[in-house]
Amino acid sequence: MEIQRLSDVVWVIPRRDPMRVPGRVFASDALIETVLQDRATVQVANVAHLRGIVEASYAMPDIHWGYGFPIGGVAATTVEDGVISPGGVGFDICCGVRLIASRFTEKDFEEQRATIMAELDRRIPRGIGKGGIAPPGLIRDILERGAAAALDAGYGWESDLERCEERGLSKGADPSRVSDKAINRGRSQIGSLGAGNHFLEVQIVDQIHDEEAARAYGLALGMVVVMIHCGSRGLGHQTCTDQLQLMGSAMRRYGIAVPDRQLACVPVRSREGEQYLGAMATASNYAWANRHILADAARHAFARAFGTSPERTGMHLVFDVAHNLAKIETHDVAGRPTELCVHRKGATRAFGPGHPELPPDLRAVGQPVLVPGSMGTASWVLRGEVGNPAFDSAAHGAGRLMSRKRAKAQQSGGEVRLRLEDDGISVRPGSVKLLSEEAPYAYKDVDAVADVCHRAKLAAKVARLRPVGVVKG
């Protein structure tokens, strides 16, 4: 795959027929080597064939091989005559990250480390097929009303909705588009992490790069924070599977051809397109509520460990942002405001200062962008910037460097756990055996990813977070 350097951190895949636009990859010299080895640039070029795509097929610095779209892929198609593709969202619909601040310091954590980790271990359901915190009967309300339904059921705080993308309720949700099979898979998993790269991590703010933004977000040096990374569990996976089956046959009717069948798509403004948007928004509501409920459990764990109430922990929500969604947004294209369907597959929305969709108390500094590292390495808080060159998108994490199979061959899960504990990170796994799949060596350098985001003006550095405890599926 031909690739040319455009600047220090921007690379271009030239347009070749039948590509409709070029590809554009944000990466440093070191990161581009891993991208080329992974062959994810082939998927970047494939996405550039989609009907109605504008400007470029983008790849964030954490890009790696995915289903249809690369993970870390961003593409905007016109609503008027473009397509929507489930491959541009992924199976874990609305997977995302929630960050909670606190009034506690690292000293406080060390004094209560064992109790905090034991409480989190007891309260956070995780693992393949494991049940959740909330009662199964809550699912219908959650699918319709998202995080607000969880709030009304007694989980979390009203202020949480203010600091959640879309206030935890995706527009256009249509539960009738979600199959009974999907609902049954999600019914008993409300308030659970799942497995894979999902986690709840206790972290320390160890660097501040933007004092103004950090103050607006409620972050301070030495503060204990909690990061939660999970999505829509089995319900989201089944919903994506169902919708892909519907689109495969519909493509022929619309005369759509793609270079990879995993890029199955239909016109945004078609019956099938509207069905997918309704199903995706419904699964998103499940994910917003899922993280909302897990955050409530984390507050209660800290409250119990410190012998206080959840309200007195100071554990306010910094932000909750998704990184697997397709959203209808308006952006300038060739100098004109244009309604677009922005696919972000393993990429985070990153609105800059002044954006009207941001909460009033964040509008002056821009949206928090949460970039989790791999288990045992740092994570980052960035902020959106005006003039973002990729439809207000940024990286969503470190990005895999090696497959799970290859990672497991490097070390056993027990060896990974011992190494993390030696580094001062308490680990409470759902499965010790599976820890090696998510070991730090299996991922790219998250500091390098954050640096490219900063240099490319995708999102600016605000704070770096260092892990001290992790609850893992």
| Residue 190 phi, psi dihedral angles, 5° rounding | -70, 115
Tell me how far apart the alpha carbons of residues 308 and 129 are, in angstroms, rounded to a whole number: 33
Tell me how far apart the alpha carbons of residues 144 and 140 are, in angstroms, rounded to a whole number: 7
Which of 64, 229, 396, 454 is catalytic? The answer is: 396
Task: Based on the residue annotation, tell me whether 292 is a catalytic residue of this protein.
Answer: no
Residue with tokens 């954050």: 450
Distance of CA 458 to the CA centre of its chain: 16
Report yes or no: 143 and 184 within 8 Å, Cβ to Cβ.
no
Provide the 8-state DSSP code for 164: B
Tell me how far apart the alpha carbons of residues 394 and 419 are, in angstroms, rounded to a whole number: 31
C-alpha dist (Å) from residue 405 to 217, 410, 436 = 38, 9, 9
Tell me the β-bridge partners of 384: 459
CB atoms closer than 10 angstroms to residue 18: 9
Tell me how far apart the alpha carbons of residues 117 and 304 are, in angstroms, rounded to a whole number: 11
Kindly state the tokens that stand for 259: 């270079």
Given phi > 0 = left and psi -120 to 50 = alpha, else beta, which region is 363? Answer: alpha
Tell me the β-bridge partners of 328: 341
Kindly state the helix (H) or strand (E) to which residue 342 belongs, with its residue range. strand 336-345
Could you tell me which of 250, 249, 241 has the C-alpha nearest to residue 273? 250
Active site positions, annotated: 396
